[in-house]
Amino acid sequence: MSGKVLNKMMGILGMEDNYDDYDEQEDVLDEQEEQEDDDYDLLNSKKGKILNIHTSSSVKVEIVKPYDFEEATSVCESLKKRKIIVINTTALDNKIAQRFLDFVGGACYISGGELQEVEKGIYIISPSNVEIDNSLKTELSSKGVFSFIK
C-alpha cells in the first residue's frame, strides 16, 4: 500500500517509473516455449529434402555447323537457354566466320559464358554455369603430341 502512495508522489513530481510491472514467471514460461519450438524445428529440419539426382535438369550440348551469318541468332538463343554449343565454322568464309564468332562471342561475354577454340575452325561456347578445363590440351601441346596447336 505504501508503495502505491510512493508511486503516486513520484508521479506528481515527474519522477515516475514508466515501466510496466510484469511477472517474471511469464518470461520463464516464454523462454521454455521458445526452447521447445527450437527443438521441434531442429528435429524437423534434420529430415531435409530428398532430391533425386536424376530428376534435375540435364545439361544439353548442341552441335552447330552454320552455313551463313543468320544462324548466329539461333546459337545465341541456345546460349540463353544455358546449353553448351559446339560450333564448326569450316563451312563459312573466313570473314563471315570471324563476324559470326564476334557476334556469338559478344553474346557469350554478356551472359558470362566462355568461348574457347577446340581446334582450327571448331569452337565451344559454355554458359556461366559450366566451366571448361583445357589443361589436357595445354599439357599435350607442351609434350609435343599436339605441338602444331598453339
Q: What are the sequence ranges of the domains in the chain? A: 56-143
Whole-number percent of the chain with pLDDT over 90:
29
What pLDDT sits at residue 133?
76
Amino acid in position 142:
S
**What is the arithmetic mean of pLDDT over 122-134?**
84
Element (H, E) at 106: helix 94-111
Please determine, looking at this structure, whether the domain spanning 56-143 carries the CATH number 3.30.110.150.
yes
Instruction: Pick the more confident residue, 92 or 133.
Output: 92
User: Band of the pLDDT at 45, cuts 50, 70, 90?
Assistant: low
Q: What's the chain's average pLDDT?
A: 75
Placement of cell 514460461 in the chain: 29
Q: 45 to each of 32, 136, 141, how far by Cα in Å?
A: 20, 43, 51
What pLDDT sits at residue 12?
74
